[in-house]
A and B are shown apart, each in its own frame.
Chain A
Amino acid sequence: MSIPGPALSRNSKSRAEAVTAVAQRTSGRISAREVAVWDPLVRLIHWTLALTILLNATVIEDESTAHEWIGYVALGLVGLRVIWALVGPTHARFSSFPPSPARAARHLRAIFAKEHSVFLSHNPLGALMVYNIWLSVIALGVTGYMMTTLAFFGVEWVEEAHEVIFGWLVLSVALHVAGVALETRRSGVKLVRAMITGRKNIPEGSCMK
């Protein structure tokens, strides 16, 4: 049994798509296709970092040893994520989400123009937020460490810097969460779920970037 040559030639493409469409309609996985984007290391680092920030900002006593240790863990997490962004898989790499205000501005325009674009890695605005949060955590870790050293113990500007950066981080996290909520509504990609399962659902009719 072999496949007839000419039959495959002309509109076989659309025919094949019809096969796929019927096959999907009856399989329960109706909605859209899913793409694996976040590897387990990215997800683990993300949620652990969120946990350390939450812990140090809320329940942990400010000048306790636990606060210091959790701070160092957060610093280590960012360090590990940066290494992974250099050597890791495609979507986790710096090259997938370059810090580019120009791209972010273009993305903003696309949002207002109601384009249905979907980014597999971070979207350009989200990418800026990623770098902002990482830098804030690093700055918090460094000023926090300085407070424990003899040279900077009790120095006022260090403590003030730590406080100011903390305020900035809280604001950033709030913006991050709001951004995720808005982008989820706009693009139809369930972003929180993607950061848990690692898979982004790509709604039909949206163009992938």
Chain B
Amino acid sequence: MKLGLWPAKTKERRATILAGLILVQALCALFFIADVIEDLRLDGRIDGPHMVLEFVAAVALVGGVIFLMIELRGLLARMSDMQTGLDIAHGHLADIIEGFFDEWGLTDAERDVAIMILKGLDNDAIARVRNTAAGTVRAQATRIYAKSRTDGRAQFISLFVEELLAGNTQLGDI
């Protein structure tokens, strides 16, 4: 299995960059705070442009780290919400597909084949997965198209896409 060290998705990349910035900036903040404290201990004075600048830098860095942490948390929450939404949609799509299959009265074998057609597998691939002859799959596909009153693969698939795009009110109350 591939170890995705550098995430492929834009949001995950953003989160990784944010985390890296937080790490480096936090260490810089630590350095400046330690430096200010050290200078205070040796010097005991807070005046002078050097001290003021260092103090401002320390405060700005700490503020930056806090801000970036809030940003990262927000981004992570959005990513997790999106995943939840996908999970819900995934479950409902399965329900929708099942609803159609029941309506058409597909047999169990036909259901298997129909799902694989929806997933974009061609007849040969389906035959390999199901360990049957290509002719059997072709016959099953023909029966599926007949039962769903579609004239082929493309129209069959578009039935489901149409259902998703139409914004059916029955599905609104998820």
Contacts and interface: CB of A to CB of B under 8 A. Distances in A.
A26 B83 CA distance: 21
A4 B102 contact: yes
Given A18-B111, A41-B72, A89-B73, A25 B170 contact: no
Contact of B22 (A7, A16, A25, A80): A80
Given A44-B23, A87-B73, A89-B77, A15 B98 contact: yes
A19 B94 contact: yes
Interface in B160-174: 162-163, 166, 168, 170-171
A84 B69 contact: yes
Contacts of A1: 159, 162-163, 166
B3 to A, nearest CB: 6
B4 interface: yes
B116 A76 contact: no
Contacts of B47: none
Contacts of A48: 23
B171 to A, nearest CB: 8
Given A36-B80, A36-B83, A8 B98 contact: yes
B78 to A, nearest CB: 11
Contacts of A22: 111-112, 115-116
Interface string A37-81: 001110111001000000000000000000000001100110110
A106 interface: no
B interface majority secondary structure: helix
B34 interface: yes
Nearest to A193: B3
B30 interface: yes
B98 A39 contact: no
Contact of A20 (B5, B19, B94, B96): B94
Given A8-B95, A12-B98, A80-B23, A72 B34 contact: yes
B80 A89 contact: yes
5 contacts: A3-B168, A39-B76, A44-B23, A80-B22, A89-B80
Interface of B: 1, 3-5, 12, 15-16, 18-20, 22-23, 26-27, 30, 34, 69-70, 72-73, 76-77, 79-80, 83, 90-91, 94-103, 111-112, 115-116, 119, 121, 129, 159, 162-163, 166, 168, 170-171
Interface of A: 1-4, 7-8, 12, 15-20, 22-23, 25-27, 36, 39-41, 43-45, 48, 72-73, 76-77, 79-80, 83-84, 87-89, 193, 196-197
